[in-house]
Amino acid sequence: MSLLKKDKSDIPKTFTANYYDAEYFVGGEGGKAFCRPNGTVKKWAYFNPTGEFLGARSITEAWKTVFKPLNMLSIGEGRGTFIAYARDAGIEAFSFDYSTWAVGEGRYKRCKPEWLILHDATKQWPYPDNSFDLVVALDFYEHIYEDDLEFVINEMYRVSKKWIFLLIATVDGVREKGYLLDKEKTVPVELEGYAVAAHVTVRTEKWWIEKFEEVNSDWWTRVDMVNWFAGLVKPEIIRNWLLNSIIILEYVG
């Protein structure tokens, strides 16, 4: 007898801040449940009790070398791990996330509360124009619905001085063109296995680059800088990053 999606799946119609809880980050009772097209149920989570990622040290040190920032903002940082390591590297780093759990109870123990605040990226960001030498968004944009993208990108550009570093989960070869989820529509069962990580906008690298240029053509893509960064970090540390998309933007206006 097949399992009923409505009784077994944790996938909501719209992914809100409440979805990003301990079950999402740590695993809880095994993680977030999603249905497969064959009716079976599987669970997914980051399964990271502490939020630790030792590779963040060499990554943040590479940012220091490549961009030479005095300060930085990490958008949708989650639990604040990269902020703590950026501070270790001598960068005055700040962040926000809209998960109450990640910013509060789940916050990485070395990340001070004043470095990581609660905020929704689809609302005006609480920073003046041109505030940060470097703005970073790691595994962030795929979580933003298409309807909100222009606003969020504009806010990112507004608070940035010079450099933007992006890591975006893109298509994985299974679905060549990716997908877009609508806030008002139920997630199709065939997409639940992709959407369980709350990825709602999954497109190609080319699509994303065109989107960033469409919003503001004064920011240019720097593939050479991506190569420089990747050459400073051991491949095993950023293996998953290289399977997705690293985009670096420079303000040239």
Residue 30: pLDDT band by 50, 70, 90 thresholds? Answer: confident
Q: What is the CATH architecture assignment of 56-251?
A: 3-Layer(aba) Sandwich (3.40)
pLDDT digits (tens, 9 = 90+) for 16-29: 999 999 999 999 88
Burial class (CB in 10 A: 0-12, 13-18, 19+), 153: buried
> Which residue do the tokens 């590479």 mark?
62
Task: Name the pLDDT band for 2 (thresholds 50, 70, 90).
Answer: very low
Question: Are the C-beta atoms of residues 161 and 133 closer than 8 Å to each other?
Answer: yes
Distance CA 7, CA 124 (A): 37
Residues 33, 42 contacting (CB under 8 angstroms): yes
Q: Residue 47: is its pLDDT beyond 90? A: yes
Give 75-124 pLDDT, tens digit per residue. 999 999 999 999 999 999 999 999 999 999 999 999 999 999 999 999 99
Q: Is the pTM of this model over 0.85?
A: yes
Q: Report the pLDDT value the prediction gives residue 29, as an integer from 0 to 100.
A: 80
- Averaged pLDDT score across all residues of the chain: 94
pLDDT of residue 233: 98
Per domain, the residue ranges of the chain are: 5-44, 56-251
CA–CA distance, 89 with 199 (Å, rounded to integer): 30
pLDDT computed for residue 71 by the predictor: 98
Indicate if the pLDDT at residue 31 is higher than 80.
yes
Band (1; pLDDT cuts 50, 70, 90): very low
Q: Phi first, then psi: what are they for 93, rounded to 5°?
A: -110, 140
**pLDDT (average), residues 206-231:** 97
Confidence of residue 175 (pLDDT cuts 50, 70, 90): low
pLDDT higher than 60, residue 177? yes
Joined together, the tokens standing for residue 79 give 């639990």
Please name the residues in contact with 190: beta carbons below 8 A apart, sequence gap of 6 or more.
Answer: 37
Q: Which pLDDT belongs to residue 7? A: 54
Which pLDDT does position 125 carry in this prediction? 98
What integer pLDDT is reported at residue 86 of this predicted model?
Answer: 98
Are 96 and 116 contacting, i.e. CB atoms less than 8 angstroms apart?
yes
Q: What is the mean pLDDT of residues 135-160?
A: 98
